[in-house]
Amino acid sequence: MASLLLENIAKSYGTVEVLKNIDLDIQQGELIVFVGPSGCGKSTLLRMIAGLETITAGDLYIDGTRMNDVPPSKRGIAMVFQSYALYPHMTVYDNMAFALKVAKMDKAQIDERVRNAAKILQLDPYLDRLPKALSGGQRQRVAIGRSIVRDPKVYLFDEPLSNLDAALRVDTRIEIAQLKERMPERTMIYVTHDQVEAMTLASRIVVLNNKTHTVAQFGSPLELYQRPENTFVAQFIGSPKMNLLPGTIRAGDAGHTGVDVAAGGVAEVPVSAANASEGERVQLGVRPEDFVVAREGDPVIFEGTASYTEKLGEVTVVYFDARDGEDPVIAKIPGIADVSKGTHLRLTAAPDKLHLFDTDGHSYFYK
């Protein structure tokens, strides 16, 4: 029902640049998540799409029509904010019907739309209740219902769950995923700073970099996890974040590259050495969950002494002494491992789990 095209979009407030070079091609029916650290411009980008913020440069198209100068009410979008205010003296039904009444829609049509939205959101039993008689999650659903009744082409959500407590966030996140399944043809853009929300909801994720003000990567959740294009994405997606181990290129051939790891031995990375030259300084990326305790004969990628451990039952998180100016290396070992402060460990990882970045943070897999 609606595709979106953003071409070279930029936003500045006076001389302060917030976003630049934003190119996104969003297909109808996608659930796109904008994610990134606080202040990276997620809300600003969403508000430009909604028409609540002017676009400094570049073009925005919805269904092929340029929208830069089209007022918000004519763009076919509906926005759900983090802080939604329901009318406290109106029932759930009237809260959802309100905007349609103001627009002088026919009563029977309003009724049909409200009941349809209530069904999608499983709010049918609560239509006669006042907001104060609802839970936080139910209220949030009413807020979403107010946008559904307007039958927009594009739904925009700006951190809709951030006011909910942890348990309710999980429930509501699942509800939003199910809501999307019930409206497969609708395009949704969802802003969050929570990478778990991004990973679980998105068809594709846009990671925004708060240092460069550009898109760090645009891809499916698993593409970002398995093949991050740069260290920004590598360390933003996944928790604890990916380890970056300094090393140098040793040798290699068309299929793989040998890396001398400063804190370990040699790692063979399955990327063509044609992209790298011998002696070049690099960063070997290994996710904490991809480290495995090395057995006799395994190549040792990292070797160190545990400075701190967390035994969480399902997993043991091991922190190693940090080398000068570097982050501590972290390993996640499944189950309850026999490791404590002072334990010396030698770790390895499967070659297909390794990542390799240059000193500027660009992945060799994309060179």
User: CA 99 → CA 65, 272, 326, distances in Å?
Assistant: 26, 58, 54
The partner in contact with residue 44, picked from Mg ion, ligand ADP, none with C-beta cut-offs of 5 to 8 angstroms by kind, is: ligand ADP
| 213 and 41 Cβ atoms separated by less than 8 Å | yes
To ligand ADP, the closest distance from the beta carbon of 39 in angstroms equals 4
Q: Which amino acid is at 340?
A: S
Q: How many CB atoms lie within 10 A of CB 262?
A: 14
To ligand ADP, the closest distance from the beta carbon of 210 in angstroms equals 8
Nearest-angstrom CA–CA distance, 96 and 110: 9
Tokens 């009744």 label which residue? 149
Torsion of CA 50, 56, 61, 67, to 10 degrees: 60
Task: Tell me if 160 contacts ligand ADP by CB under 6 A.
Answer: no
Tokens 């940090």 label which residue? 322
- For strands 204-208 and 215-219, give the pairing: antiparallel
Q: Using CB under 6 A, which of 32, 33, 35, 42 touches ligand ADP? A: 42
Residues 265-294 contacting Mg ion, CB under 5 A: none
**Count of residues in contact with ligand ADP, rule CB under 6 A:** 10
- Which one of 17-25, 37-45, 162-170, 319-327 is the stretch in contact with Mg ion (CB under 5 A)? 37-45
To ligand ADP, the closest distance from the beta carbon of 161 in angstroms equals 14
The partner in contact with residue 257, picked from ligand ADP, Mg ion, none with C-beta cut-offs of 5 to 8 angstroms by kind, is: none
Provide DSSP, 183-234.
Answer: STT-EEEEEES-HHHHHHH-SEEEEEPTTT-SEEEEE-HHHHHHS-SBHHHH
User: CA 352 → CA 35, 96, 256, 365, distances in Å?
Assistant: 26, 51, 11, 12
Nearer to ligand ADP, 11 or 113 (CB): 11
Element (H, E) at 318: strand 315-320
Q: How many CB atoms lie within 10 A of CB 40?
A: 23
Task: Tell me if 38 contacts ligand ADP by CB under 6 A.
Answer: yes
- Which one of 38-46, 61-69, 166-174, 317-325 is the stretch in contact with ligand ADP (CB under 6 A)? 38-46
**Which residue, 176, 192, 208, 195, is CA-closest to 41?**
208
Q: Using CB under 6 A, which of 24, 40, 284, 306 touches ligand ADP? A: 40
The partner in contact with residue 122, picked from ligand ADP, Mg ion, none with C-beta cut-offs of 5 to 8 angstroms by kind, is: none
- Which one of 40-48, 300-308, 322-330, 351-359 is the stretch in contact with Mg ion (CB under 5 A)? 40-48
Task: Tell me if 41 contacts ligand ADP by CB under 6 A.
Answer: yes
Task: Tell me if 18 contacts ligand ADP by CB under 6 A.
Answer: yes
The partner in contact with residue 277, picked from ligand ADP, Mg ion, none with C-beta cut-offs of 5 to 8 angstroms by kind, is: none
Task: Tell me if 43 contacts Mg ion by CB under 5 A.
Answer: yes
Nearest-angstrom CA–CA distance, 330 and 347: 11
| 259 and 282 Cβ atoms separated by less than 8 Å | yes
- Which one of 35-43, 54-62, 165-173, 181-189 is the stretch in contact with ligand ADP (CB under 6 A)? 35-43
The partner in contact with residue 258, picked from ligand ADP, Mg ion, none with C-beta cut-offs of 5 to 8 angstroms by kind, is: none
Both tokens assigned to 317: 């998180």
To ligand ADP, the closest distance from the beta carbon of 295 in angstroms equals 45
Site residues (vs Mg ion, CB under 5 A): 43
Site residues (vs ligand ADP, CB under 6 A): 13, 18, 36, 38-44
